[in-house]
Amino acid sequence: MSPSARTAQLRRETSESSIELSLDLDGSGESDIRTSVPFFDHLLTAFARHSLTDLTVRAEGDIEIDVHHTAEDVGIVLGQALRQALGDKSGISRFGDALVPLDEALVQAVVDISGRPYLVHSGEPAGFEFHLIGGHFTGSMVRHVFEAITFNAALTTHIRVLGGRDPHHIAEAEFKAFARAFRQAKALDPLVTGVPSTKGAL
């Protein structure tokens, strides 16, 4: 896949949700996101903007039961689309590291486009997972979405919450830090020839 065509368009249909998603890794951060889960829309918009990935998402799901299925399925499709758009990963920087504040919250994210799915996620304050952010998005979904993205995109991702009190700030800082780290990792490096791995494949 040529660097000018790092795009993907995917659809996923289950009894719990319907997802349509398209992205361009070499965009400007434009987004048009409607998942029917407002705070999740906010997080995905932040990811698009700060990773410089153009992203369009349309999702419908059984949110009358819970937002879980919709958020998880969008994470799965986003991860699959990232992996598809990256192609053979020729010429990429591969690694990215970002430290992002949002008022009192501070989050570090490190991304390796490794082809080996692995997530290390730590530091969220006690009780964060039970908090309803915006009255509908449970804090536990933050880690769950990162699991879905990481495993389906085949990324090695480390996310550490170094500080924070407000759940909204913590969650948003996590997505912004992940976005900035991914932005570095996906970037095309003119000094890199072929795939940046001693194995010759990622």
Please tell me the distance from the alpha carbon of residue 182 to that of residue 52, in angstroms, as a whole number. Answer: 10
pLDDT exceeds 90 at position 64: no
Q: What percent of the chain has pLDDT over 70?
A: 98
- Is there a contact between 20 and 58 (Cβ–Cβ < 8 Å)? yes
Q: Say whether pTM exceeds 0.85.
A: yes
The reported pLDDT for the residue numbered 179 is 98
**What local confidence, expressed as pLDDT, does residue 201 receive?**
86
> Residue 160: CB partners within 8 Å, gap ≥ 6?
107, 108, 109, 122, 123
- If you average pLDDT over residues 23-46, what whole number do you get? 98
Chain segment 149-194, per-residue pLDDT in tens: 999 999 999 999 999 999 999 999 999 999 999 999 999 999 999 9
pLDDT band at 2 (very low <50, low <70, confident <90, very high): very low
Query: What is the rounded average pLDDT of the residues 26-37?
Result: 97
pLDDT one-digit tens code per residue, 73-111: 999 999 999 999 999 999 999 999 999 999 999 999 999
Mean pLDDT of 118-123: 98
Beta bridge partners of residue 102, listed in sequence order: 105
Residue showing tokens 């419908």: 60
DSSP string of 129-172? GG-EETTTEETHHHHHHHHHHHHHHT-EEEEEEEE-S-HHHHHH
Whether residue 33 has pLDDT greater than 60:
yes
Q: Is it the case that residue 4 has pLDDT exceeding 80? A: no
